[in-house]
Structure 1
């Protein structure tokens, strides 16, 4: 299985865990340049994966708004206040 396939099957939590480990290694400053570049590239992919998963979840969230007619479903829109 290729790394790209493996990344797609990661849960959000697993991807975040891997990303945090990469950030810790890079912040330690004890990583050779070649390795640091590879870690950075992997970190960027994981970051994009996490962002994509968050967008998917955002689209699925629905807010239930109480109206005079009862409960009404409305797509979740971040930052929107009624």
Structure 2
């Protein structure tokens, strides 16, 4: 499997989305050999999984924050 992960502190959602979009552009250009398309696809899938995990963690944090706010007494 192709590893594209940077250290956790260097990872950036927007840059990862840009990377996925660049891969899509290269694949859709029709100029890549089929073997390269498969490699690029594997990288794009890994990037998508990283983005999905990031968004899921963010949603969990937001849900927790909302729960905490709802549990606080009103002033």
TM-score range, shorter chain: 0.7 to 0.9
Return the TM-score normalized by structure 1. Answer: 0.69
Report which structure shows greater RCO (CA 8 Å, sep ≥6). Answer: 2
Return the TM-score normalized by structure 2. Answer: 0.74
Cα distance, 1:47 vs structure 2: 0.4
Mark the runs of 5 or more structure 2 residues left unpaired by the alignment.
none
Give the structure with the larger helix fraction: 2
CA RMSD of aligned residues (A): 2.4
Give the structure with the larger strand fraction: 1
User: Which entry has the higher C-alpha Rg, 1 or 2?
Assistant: 1
Query: How far does the alpha carbon of each residue in 1:3-24 deviate from its partner, in whole angstroms, 9 at most, with x for none?
Result: 4442754211111110110011
Measure, in 1, the Cα distance between the counterparts of 2:5 and 2:24. Answer: 22
**Counterpart of 2:11?**
10
Aligned pair count reads 68
> After TM superposition, what 4+ stretches of structure 1 lie above 6 angstroms from structure 2?
none
Measure, in 2, the Cα distance between the counterparts of 1:17 and 1:59. Answer: 24
**Counterpart of 1:56?**
57
Cα distance, 1:53 vs structure 2: 0.3
3-state SS of paired residue (1:22):
helix
